[in-house]
Each structure stands twice: as structure tokens, then as C-alpha cells.
């Protein structure tokens, strides 16, 4: 008798949960996680480009080792922070991740600015290829972050509606913080990956000719392979 009653109640319970938005909450929750995963893919692609970029400019930037060190250390910090879609509701983890990514963006900006002092570097085919890929990746990061913001907005709006809010509370679903809410002023700035010469370096001179290996081909930095996949 109890089993029969349970079989009769299950379809009713399923209809109630559907009517209260349970299934839609699951769909929107998965959509948020998928959007964040795509964003992480682009961050990881940028992190993979950084060592190649540093290796490409290393043969030329004989006087700016501190800049190269800063980029390398920022890349290391990014790699040391492991974050997944399960951490989206962890403000501390997200703050650490955002800070590490911000430091890497800042370091890359200074690296590209200093490269203005090196005409031979700017003429290097590998460097130009890496810059194209880096700039494309920055654009894709911005696109994926925008999609993530939209996914979180849809999710948050839905679980705050009545009667869905009741279902969300029962099953422990809460609103998610959106990207960059703790650092909006910084997020609103345009990407700084561009060829700008800092004011303090206006009088800097290109390195002497003897600082560059004359036997090395100018199209590719010494010790660096040019076998890169084209930017997607």
C-alpha cells in the first residue's frame, strides 16, 4: 500500500518541482558553469602564450630583465591558483583569482610598452605572431566574460522570483556574485596591451648591436620555435 502511494505521489511531486522552477534552476546553473569554463579556457590560453612571449623577447631585452622577471612571476601566480565552476560562490577564491589575472595583465602591459625601445624585436616575425595571438586572446576573454555575466544575471533573476525563490531556498541555491563586482573601476578600463612608450623611457636607446647575436635569424628569436598554432 505504501509503495503504491509513493508511486502515485512521485508524478505529482515531479509536476510540483517543475512548476516551481526546479528544472529551470538546474539548466541555468549549468549554463553559468559552462560560461565560466569557457572564460577559464581563454585565461589558460593567455597563460600558455606568456612563456613563449618572454622567450621571444629575452634575446633582445638585455636591459629590462626586471620586466621579464615580473611577467614570469605574475604568470607563476596565475598558474598556482586553481579555480573551477564549483568556486563561483566563494568570494575569497574569486578575489584571489581576479587579483592574479590583474597582475598578469599589468605586467604584460609594461612588457609591451618597453618593447617599443627595441626596433629589432618589433620586426621579429615570431614576436608579431605572438602579439597577434595575445591580442586575440584578450578579446576572447572579454567576450567570454560578457557571456558569463549574462548567464549569472539570468540565473540570479530567476531564483529570486516567486515562487522559484521558495524552491531555491529549499534546495540550497543562492545568488552568485557577478564578475568583477569587487573591482568595477579596474574592470571598466580598456585592455592595456598596446605599443605605448612610457614617459620615463622617452630617452632610452635601443641596445647596442653587440648585445644581439648577429648570427641569429632576425625572423625568429634564438632558441625559440615558431611552431605556433594560428589564432582562433
Q: What is the pTM of this model?
A: 0.65
In a domain, 104, yes or no: yes
At residue 153's C-alpha, the angle toward residues 152 and 156, to 5°, is: 80
Beta-carbon contacts of residue 81 (< 8 Å; ≥ 6 apart): 96, 97, 100
In a domain, 116, yes or no: yes
Beta-carbon contacts of residue 137 (< 8 Å; ≥ 6 apart): 42, 45, 46, 49, 231
Q: At 157, list the grid cell.
A: 533573476
Q: What is the DSSP string of 106-156?
A: HHHHHHHHHGGG-HHHHT-HHHHHHHHHHHHHHHHHHHHHHHHHHHHHHHH
Q: Which of 84, 83, 88 is nearest to 28 (CA)?
A: 88
Going residue by residue through the chain (232 aa), what tens digit of pLDDT does each one get? Answer: 556 554 554 455 454 545 578 888 999 999 999 999 999 999 999 999 999 998 888 878 877 888 999 999 999 999 998 888 888 888 888 889 999 999 999 999 999 888 888 888 888 888 889 999 999 999 999 999 999 999 999 999 999 988 888 888 888 888 888 765 444 444 444 444 433 334 444 344 444 434 444 334 443 333 333 333 444 4
In a domain, 2, yes or no: no
Predicted local distance difference test score (pLDDT) of residue 63: 74
Integer Cα distance of 81 and 89 in angstroms = 16
Predicted local distance difference test score (pLDDT) of residue 65: 83
CB 46 within 8 A of CB 139: no
Predicted local distance difference test score (pLDDT) of residue 85: 80
Q: Structurally, how many domains does the chain consist of? A: 1
In a domain, 58, yes or no: yes
Predicted local distance difference test score (pLDDT) of residue 32: 92
In a domain, 217, yes or no: no
In a domain, 37, yes or no: yes
In a domain, 49, yes or no: yes
Beta-carbon contacts of residue 161 (< 8 Å; ≥ 6 apart): 21
Residue that has been written with the C-alpha cell 574569486 in this structure: 94
Name the residue range of residue 147's domain.
22-196
Q: What is the CATH number of the domain that holds 157?
A: 1.20.1440.20
Predicted local distance difference test score (pLDDT) of residue 137: 93
In a domain, 7, yes or no: no
Task: State which H helix or E strand residue 92 sits in.
Answer: helix 91-114
Amino acid at each position: 500500500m505504501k509503495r503504491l502511494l509513493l508511486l502515485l505521489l512521485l508524478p505529482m511531486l515531479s509536476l510540483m518541482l517543475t512548476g516551481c522552477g526546479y528544472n529551470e534552476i538546474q539548466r541555468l546553473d549549468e549554463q553559468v558553469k559552462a560560461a565560466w569554463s569557457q572564460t577559464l579556457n581563454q585565461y589558460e590560453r593567455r597563460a600558455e602564450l606568456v612563456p613563449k612571449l618572454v622567450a621571444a623577447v629575452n634575446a633582445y631585452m638585455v636591459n629590462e630583465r626586471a620586466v621579464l622577471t615580473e611577467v614570469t612571476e605574475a604568470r607563476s601566480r596565475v598558474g598556482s591558483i586553481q579555480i573551477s565552476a564549483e568556486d563561483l560562490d566563494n568570494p575569497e577564491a574569486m578575489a584571489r583569482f581576479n587579483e592574479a589575472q590583474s597582475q598578469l595583465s599589468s605586467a604584460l602591459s609594461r612588457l609591451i610598452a618597453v618593447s617599443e625601445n627595441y626596433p629589432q624585436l618589433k620586426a621579429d616575425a615570431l614576436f608579431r605572431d605572438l602579439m597577434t595571438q595575445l591580442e586575440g586572446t584578450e578579446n576572447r576573454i572579454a567576450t567570454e566574460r560578457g557571456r558569463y555575466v549574462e548567464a549569472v544575471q539570468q540565473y540570479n533573476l530567476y531564483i529570486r522570483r516567486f515562487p522559484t525563490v521558495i524552491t531555491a531556498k529549499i534546495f540550497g541555491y543562492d545568488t552568485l556574485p557577478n564578475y568583477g563586482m569587487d573591482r568595477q573601476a579596474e574592470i571598466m578600463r580598456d585592455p592595456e596591451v598596446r605599443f605605448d612608450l612610457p614617459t620615463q623611457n622617452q630617452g632610452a636607446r635601443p641596445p647596442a648591436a653587440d648585445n644581439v647575436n648577429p648570427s641569429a635569424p632576425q625572423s625568429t628569436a634564438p632558441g625559440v620555435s615558431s611552431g605556433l598554432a594560428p589564432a582562433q
